[in-house]
Amino acid sequence: MRILVFNEAPTTLLGGIWTETRTLIKGLQARGHCVALASDAPLPGLEVDHFSISTARTERSVQELQEAIAAFRPEVIHVLFAFVGGVLRYAKALHAHPWVLTCHSVPPHEWSSGVLHRPDWLHYLARAWCIRRPTLGGILVYGLRIPPRIIVHSDVIGVHLRHRFFPRSRVSVIPFGYQPRPAGHSWPAAATAQDAPRLLTIAGITHTKGQHDALSALPLVRQQYPSLKYTMLGEVRDPSYLAFLESRIAELGLASSVDFVINASREQVEQALASADLFVQPSHEEGFCLSYMEAAAQVPRLLATKTGAMAAMSADDPGARVVPVGHPKAIASAILDLLAADLPPTHMRERDERLARAFDWSRYFDMHQSVYETELERTRRRLRSN
């Protein structure tokens, strides 16, 4: 099958969007499909035909997409990422072809207002006003049912789409896959944490990731572990939120316990994961959370909030806890519980096997292929009926 993957995000953007783009394209190629990428720039590490599409989202960029379609002649177009304005803009270039959209979030979810970070309700009230145009765009895109089919990575996003009147029958839930460790991998012992436990969060620096809740939980945890260290890795998506976090650190007297690593290299991420005793993902909103999945492969103790697919990843795991969104006391209690937990020696191996079964990469690619084939056949039937 000939598949054109279109991603309108700039390739300089860090995070899971481009991780998925690379993973999906390589997986489809391994299955014998002919894949091309349409984006603002080629993606390093991919041997694939590339078509340049300006991120300006003008009539010229629409023409560039039309030219890419004409040159590559795809059987299916997969819009792996586009803001709602992009979907509206590019729909006229897509409507004559079989195409699907992957939806990572529904506005205003996972957006930030850039102001009023305390209390949370005020921030999200301000966001509702600041993000009203993208939110209206989402109502138009999903309420008018512009995409023929939408792929999501968790039921949470499916619910958001239904709230925008997009039909459940046209939503395909395809979780990401988990990469198990190779046979014979030597797992480190998940010993009870010592007096100076190392806590870690990997997430963009923006209000919806909830790092301020983790900070608010630390004074309670420090009563028992005064020498703990908490590291936050991520790119700064909202400078005002970084300033807010820094003010909270000073206000709570946490300067000796907390540090940031901004725009961490892959090597720094791996080092942080390898040395962490407990991974904390205090997000308010997630579409899936690749960082949590990645941490599950290396960090013995995991703490998540009830958003995205993190609860599903944590199911039946003695080394994982899931707490409500926005509850620092619940976070503190779960951290203390996890740090005191005596995990079995086989814990990490059993987690690895469980996640490999529940989040199988083969299923991820199988389901994408099935969606493509369904949309291709649906388009053929429509053309025959005309």
106 & 255 share domain:
no
238 & 153 share domain:
no
278 & 374 share domain:
no
**Res 16: pLDDT:** 79
96 & 135 share domain:
yes
Decide if 231 is inside a domain: yes
Give me the sign of the Cα torsion angle 350, 352, 358, 360: negative
Task: Provide the domain limits for residue 281.
Answer: 198-358
**Could you give the CA distance from residue 83 to residue 65 in angstroms, rounded to a whole number?**
16
Cβ–Cβ < 8 Å for 306, 322: yes
The contacts of residue 333 (CB under 8 Å, 6+ apart) are 220, 323
**pTM of the predicted model as reported, rounded to 2 decimal places:** 0.91
315 & 231 share domain:
yes
Full strand arrangement of the beta sheet holding 258-262: 258-262, 229-234, 198-202, 278-281, 301-305, 320-323
Q: Of 85, 40, 46, which is closest to residue 65 (Cα–Cα)?
A: 40
Question: Based on the structure, what is the number of domains in the chain?
Answer: 2
353 & 365 share domain:
no
269 & 373 share domain:
no
The contacts of residue 249 (CB under 8 Å, 6+ apart) are 215, 255, 258
CATH of the domain at 42: 3.40.50.2000
In angstroms, how far is CA 77 from the centroid of its own chain?
22
166 & 231 share domain:
no
Q: Of 111, 110, 103, which is closest to residue 166 (Cα–Cα)?
A: 103
Q: Encode the chain (386 residues) as per-residue pLDDT tens digits.
A: 999 999 998 888 766 788 899 999 999 999 999 999 999 999 888 999 999 999 888 899 999 999 999 999 999 999 999 999 999 999 989 988 999 999 999 999 999 889 999 999 999 999 999 999 999 999 999 999 999 999 999 999 999 999 999 999 999 999 999 989 887 777 766 555 678 999 999 999 999 999 999 999 999 999 999 999 999 999 999 999 999 999 999 999 999 999 999 999 889 999 999 999 999 999 999 999 999 999 999 999 999 999 999 999 999 999 999 999 999 999 999 999 999 999 998 999 999 999 999 999 999 999 999 999 999 998 888 777 76
The tokens for 248 are 């909270």
